[in-house]
Amino acid sequence: MEADLSGFNIDAPRWDQRTFLGRVKHFLNITDPRTVFVSERELDWAKVMVEKSRMGVVPPGTQVEQLLYAKKLYDSAFHPDTGEKMNVIGRMSFQLPGGMIITGFMLQFYSY
């Protein structure tokens, strides 16, 4: 059975942003470090899916979960203002592992 996507708004927040828990879930979703390892091809697919959804042209057979995953990848890898793909180091999803690497080096080379 195909899902009805006529009322689906890709830009609407998935969780209630007026609550603390909703904001935490949103932040954890876009900073998921697993998205750092997603292929360029899949990121390009996510951008196409988000842009098509914004235009109201969703390919037949597309599920809501696929659109939400595409939005997750899009939010984590593309600049919010320009829409350009950011390099890996500048992505929101790289903040956790990148911060751990930087902190590890600072601790490693700390001298009294």
Global pTM value: 0.78
On the question of pLDDT at 3 being above 60, the answer is no
Q: Which has more pLDDT, 10 or 18?
A: 18
How far is it, in rounded angstroms, from Cα 92 to Cα 112? Answer: 33
The arithmetic mean of pLDDT across residues 79-94, rounded, is 85
Token code pair at residue 39: 């292929």
Is the pLDDT at 45 greater than 80, yes or no?
yes
Tell me the domain boundaries of the chain.
20-108
The residue-averaged pLDDT of 47-56 equals: 89
pLDDT confidence bin for 109, thresholds 50/70/90: confident
CA distance linking residue 62 with residue 58, whole number of Å: 7
Neighbouring CB atoms inside 10 A of 95's CB total 15
